[in-house]
A and B are shown apart, each in its own frame.
Chain A
């Protein structure tokens, strides 16, 4: 049984203070099932999430909020070999993954 995580919203409160994710293109490495992305996606202009685990990514896709206005992309990849061009993102988030 999964716990209820951070119902106080402290994590997103701290992340939202970072100007570098507001209206910017953000990449999250180790996004897992998209738990963190769902919390900050509406601040960013575009969010891409990568994770090596295809099952987690499938969950991230299936729980993607229909109401999110921000384009979200997910890719199966290892952190040391990212499928993106040079200088593509304003911010990279290591979400509990380093």
Chain B
């Protein structure tokens, strides 16, 4: 990972910027949006991604220690994914999130129950925290 970051350094012009935009694995809530309210039947367990977060952070820190980059700013925001049905969300999670996220059986069960009780149109939403960091290329 450090090799890839140093390759970024190579192709950047002097004083250029490296922008790291990345989801932070922080067990986001599953949300059911109905006409009247937003229900939260539980959270996604994405602790499986924590090691990846740590490895990426460490690689960036190493390039800073080596004097290749200087951290210029950090910020974060919420990035929302919406599905029309719970089943669509579960299918997507099974295919795309299987390496780092688990939707607990209890959360799925509660979701189905809430949807049945609300008896109306709904949308599913998961909002993940995205970290954005900007690093400035330093001359070495």
A residues in contact (CB < 8 Å) with B: 1-8, 10-11, 13-15, 18, 20-21, 27, 29, 36, 78-82, 84-98
Please determine whether B7 and A11 come into contact, CB atoms closer than 8 angstroms: no
Residue from the set B17, B77, B80, B132 with the largest chain A CB neighbour count within 10 Å: B17
Interface size class of chain B, counting residues whose CB lies under 8 Å from the partner chain = 35 or more
Residue from the set B3, B7, B91 with the largest chain A CB neighbour count within 10 Å: B7
Question: Does B75 reach chain A (CB closer than 8 Å)?
Answer: yes
B residues in contact (CB < 8 Å) with A: 1, 3-5, 7-8, 10-14, 16-23, 56, 59-60, 75, 77-84, 88-89, 91-92, 130, 132, 134
Please determine whether B77 and A10 come into contact, CB atoms closer than 8 angstroms: yes
List chain A residues, Cβ under 8 A from B60.
98
List chain A residues, Cβ under 8 A from B82.
3-5, 7
A sample of 7 more A-B contacts (CB under 8 A), given A11-B130, A90-B16, is A4-B81, A14-B132, A15-B132, A18-B134, A20-B19, A89-B16, A90-B17
Residue of A nearest to B23 (CB): A96
Expressed in whole angstroms, the Cα–Cα distance for A75 and B101 within the complex equals 30
Interface of B, secondary structure class, is: strand
Please determine whether B16 and A11 come into contact, CB atoms closer than 8 angstroms: no
List chain A residues, Cβ under 8 A from B56.
98
Residue of B nearest to A7 (CB): B82
Question: When the two chains form the complex, which single residue of B3, B19, B79, B132 contacts A80, counting CB atoms closer than 8 Å?
Answer: B3
Residue from the set A15, A81, A95, A98 with the largest chain B CB neighbour count within 10 Å: A98
Question: When the two chains form the complex, which single residue of A5, A21, A80, A92 contacts B81, counting CB atoms closer than 8 Å?
Answer: A5
- What's the nearest-Cβ distance from chain A to residue B99, in Å? 14
Question: When the two chains form the complex, which single residue of B7, B16, B59 contacts A98, counting CB atoms closer than 8 Å?
Answer: B59
Please determine whether B4 and A29 come into contact, CB atoms closer than 8 angstroms: yes
List chain B residues, Cβ under 8 A from A5.
79-82
Expressed in whole angstroms, the Cα–Cα distance for A4 and B60 within the complex equals 31
